[in-house]
Amino acid sequence: MPFEHLLVLSFILFALAAAGFLTHKNTIVLLMFAELMLNAANLALAAFAKLSGSPEPQIFILMIFAVAAAEAGVGLALIILLARNLKTLDIDEIRNLKG
Amino acid sequence: MNPETASHFMRSLAVPLTLTAAALAALFLPMIAGKDDARPGLAVLGAALALLAVFPASGPDSISLFSGALTLSPFTNYLWPFFLTALAFTVLLSLRARGGLPGAGEYYFLLALAALGLMLLVSAGELLTVFIAVELLSVCLYALAAINRSPAGAEAGYKYFLLGSLGTGMLVMGIALVYGTLGTLNFEAIQSALPFSHPSSLIPHPSLHPLTSTGFIFLIAGFSFKAALVPFHMWVPDVYEGAPTPVSAFMGAAVKAGGILILYRLYVLTAGSAQFREIFWGLAVVTMVLGNLMALPQQNLKRLLGYSSIAHAGYISAGFFGGSEGLKAVLYYLAVYALATMGAFAVIAAVEKDERGITVKDLDGFSGRHPWLAGAMAVFILSLAGIPPLAGFFGKFYVFTAALKAGCVWLVVIALVMSAVSVYYYLRVLTAMYMEKEHTALHARPSRAMNLALILLALAVTALGIFSAPLLRLAQAAAIF
Instruction: Give tens-digit pLDDT for A24-56.
Output: 999 999 999 999 999 999 999 999 998 888 888
pLDDT of residue B69: 87
The parent domain of residue B400 ranges over: 3-478
Which chain A residue's Cα is nearest to B153? A82
Taken in order B310, B315, B321, B323, is the CA torsion positive or negative? negative
Q: Establish if A96 belongs to a structural domain.
A: no
Contacts of B161 in chain A (CB under 8 A): 71, 74-75, 78
Q: Is B262 within 8 Å of B226 (Cβ atoms)?
A: yes
Q: What is the mean pLDDT of residues B91-104?
A: 74
- Cβ of B169 within 8 Å of Cβ of A31? The answer is no
- Confidence label for B306 from pLDDT (cuts 50, 70 and 90): very high
Is the pLDDT assigned to residue A79 strictly greater than 80? yes
Is the pLDDT assigned to residue B441 strictly greater than 50? yes
Q: Establish if A57 belongs to a structural domain.
A: yes
- Distances from the Cα of B113 to the Cαs of B60, B83, B305, B342, in angstroms? 27, 11, 25, 19
- Cβ of A99 within 8 Å of Cβ of B303? The answer is yes
* Whether the complex's predicted ipTM surpasses the cut of 0.90: yes
Tens digit of each residue's pLDDT (9 = 90 or more) over B344-357 = 999 999 888 877 88
From A37's Cα to the closest Cα of chain B, the distance in A is 5
Cα(B32)–Cα(B426) distance, integer angstroms: 47
- Distances from the Cα of A8 to the Cαs of A15, A33, A43, B185, B467, in angstroms? 11, 18, 10, 22, 57
Q: What is the mean pLDDT of residues B243-260?
A: 94
Contacts of B173 in chain A (CB under 8 A): 14, 37, 40-41, 44
Which chain B residue's Cα is nearest to A78? B158
Q: Is B187 within 8 Å of B221 (Cβ atoms)?
A: no
Cα(B336)–Cα(B468) distance, integer angstroms: 10
Q: Establish if A81 belongs to a structural domain.
A: yes
Nearest to B227 by CA among B267, B187, B254: B254
Contacts of B210 in chain A (CB under 8 A): none
pLDDT of residue B1: 65
Q: What is the mean pLDDT of residues B46-55?
A: 80
Q: Is A33 within 8 Å of A24 (Cβ atoms)?
A: yes
Is the pLDDT assigned to residue B60 strictly greater than 80? no
Q: Which long-range contacts (CB under 8 A, 24 or more apart) does A45-52 make?
A: A45/B176, A45/B179, A45/B180, A46/A6, A47/A3, A47/A6, A47/A7, A47/A10, A47/B180, A48/A3, A48/A7, A48/B176, A48/B179, A48/B180, A50/A3, A50/A6, A51/A3, A51/B180, A52/B183
Please name the helix (run of DSSP H) or strand (run of DSSP E) that holds residue B334, with its range, or none. Answer: helix B323-351
Is the pLDDT assigned to residue A13 strictly greater than 50? yes
Residues of B contacting chain A (CB within 8 angstroms): 128, 131-132, 135, 138-139, 142-143, 146, 149-152, 154-159, 161-162, 165-166, 168-170, 172-173, 175-177, 179-180, 183, 185, 237-238, 241-242, 294, 297-300, 303
* Number of residues assigned to chain A: 99
Tens digit of each residue's pLDDT (9 = 90 or more) over B14-36 = 888 889 988 888 888 887 877 66
From B13's Cα to the closest Cα of chain A, the distance in A is 22
From A45's Cα to the closest Cα of chain B, the distance in A is 5
Q: What is the mean pLDDT of residues B177-203?
A: 78
Q: What percent of chain B has pLDDT over 90?
A: 56
The parent domain of residue A83 ranges over: 3-91
From A3's Cα to the closest Cα of chain B, the distance in A is 11
From A48's Cα to the closest Cα of chain B, the distance in A is 5
Cα(B337)–Cα(B251) distance, integer angstroms: 12
Cα(B57)–Cα(B53) distance, integer angstroms: 10
Nearest to B248 by CA among B381, B90, B140: B90
Q: Establish if A84 belongs to a structural domain.
A: yes
Tens digit of each residue's pLDDT (9 = 90 or more) over B161-177 = 999 999 999 999 999 99
Which chain A residue's Cα is nearest to B128? A60
Is the pLDDT assigned to residue B339 strictly greater than 60? yes
Q: Establish if A98 belongs to a structural domain.
A: no
- Cβ of B142 within 8 Å of Cβ of A14? The answer is no
Q: How many domains does chain B have?
A: 1
Helical H segments across B34-126, by residue range:
38-54, 74-97, 104-123
Q: Find all residues with CB under 8 Å of B274, minimum gap 6, and list them.
A: none
Burial classification of residue B202, based on how many CB atoms lie within 10 Å of its CB (0-12 exposed, 13-18 middle, 19 or more buried): exposed
Contacts of A96 in chain B (CB under 8 A): 151-152, 155
Q: What is the mean pLDDT of residues B50-60?
A: 72
For B34, list phi and psi in degrees, rounded to 5: 80, 180
Which of A67, A77, A96 comes nearest B132 by C-beta? A67
- Cβ of A41 within 8 Å of Cβ of B175? The answer is yes
From A76's Cα to the closest Cα of chain B, the distance in A is 9
Q: Establish if A23 belongs to a structural domain.
A: yes
For B70, list phi and psi in degrees, rounded to 5: -125, 145
Q: Find all residues with CB under 8 Å of B413, minimum gap 6, and list them.
A: none
Q: Find all residues with CB under 8 Å of B246, minimum gap 6, and list them.
A: B90, B93, B94, B97, B345, B349
Residues of A contacting chain B (CB within 8 angstroms): 7, 10, 14, 17-18, 21, 27, 30-31, 34-35, 37-38, 40-42, 44-45, 47-48, 51-52, 56-57, 60, 63-64, 67, 70-71, 74-75, 77-79, 81-82, 85-86, 94, 96-97, 99
- Cβ of B135 within 8 Å of Cβ of A70? The answer is yes
> How many inter-chain contacts (A to B, CB under 8 Å) are there?
126
- Cβ of A60 within 8 Å of Cβ of B139? The answer is no
Q: Can you say how many angstroms the Cα of residue B473 is from the centroid of all Cα atoms in its chain?
A: 21
* Secondary structure of B247-305 as H, E, C letters: HHHHHHHHHHHHHHHHHHHHHHHHCCCHHHHHHHHHHHHHHHHHHHHHHCCCCEHHHHH
Mean residue pLDDT of chain B comes to: 88
Contacts of B298 in chain A (CB under 8 A): 99
Tens digit of each residue's pLDDT (9 = 90 or more) over B63-84 = 888 888 888 888 888 999 999 9
Tens digit of each residue's pLDDT (9 = 90 or more) over B195-246 = 775 554 445 445 778 889 999 999 999 999 989 998 999 999 999 999 999 9
Q: Give the start-end residues of each E strand in B375-428.
A: none
Amino acid, res. B317 = S
- Confidence label for B454 from pLDDT (cuts 50, 70 and 90): very high
Q: How many domains does chain A have?
A: 1
Cα(B223)–Cα(B258) distance, integer angstroms: 10
Most confident of A40-44, B41-45, B463-467, B474-478: A40-44
Q: Residue A39's domain is classified under what CATH number?
A: 1.10.287.3510
- Confidence label for B56 from pLDDT (cuts 50, 70 and 90): low
Tens digit of each residue's pLDDT (9 = 90 or more) over B366-422 = 888 889 999 999 999 999 999 988 999 999 999 999 999 998 899 999 999 999 999
Is the pLDDT assigned to residue A80 strictly greater than 80? yes
From A4's Cα to the closest Cα of chain B, the distance in A is 12
Q: What is the mean pLDDT of residues B51-74?
A: 78
Cα dihedral A34, A39, A43, A45, rounded to 10, equals 80
Tens digit of each residue's pLDDT (9 = 90 or more) over B103-152 = 778 889 999 999 999 999 999 999 999 999 999 999 999 999 999 888 89
Mark residue B48 as left, alpha or beta (left: phi above 0; alpha: psi -120 to 50; beta: remaining): alpha
Please name the helix (run of DSSP H) or strand (run of DSSP E) that holds residue B63, with its range, or none. Answer: strand B63-65
Contacts of A71 in chain B (CB under 8 A): 135, 138-139, 161, 165, 168
